[in-house]
Amino acid sequence: MYVNDSGSRAVLFGYTLNARYGETFNRVKLQGLDRGKTYKVQEINVSNEGRRGPGMGPGMSESGRSYTGEYLMNVGLNIGSATPLTSVVYELTE
């Protein structure tokens, strides 16, 4: 994860190497955000192939939602996938 100096923007990279029995349990607590700011979460590496398989589109249920920096640092985001050998890139903007 990379956060700019002002804490207004961040990029998070997530990788699923092996998904056992289709489980997704990779909740990640973010660091370096401003607790008082609200961030919009957007998955930015979505293609027609997506994370969930051909033609399935976006794979992140939180995409397009907003969370406070405090929530993202204390609770985090689920970045896991049920598909092995996949990756995601999330952009967080205030």
What would the pLDDT profile of 35-83 be if each residue is shown by its tens digit? 999 999 999 887 545 444 443 344 556 788 999 999 999 999 988 777 7
Count of C-beta atoms within a 10 Å radius of residue 1: 14
Please tell me the pTM assigned to this model.
Answer: 0.77
Higher pLDDT, 18 or 52: 18
CB 18 within 8 A of CB 82: no
Cα 26 to Cα 8, 34, 48, 76: the distances in Å are 24, 22, 23, 10
Count of C-beta atoms within a 10 Å radius of residue 14: 21
Of 23-27, 51-55, 64-68, 85-89, the range with the lowest mean pLDDT is 51-55
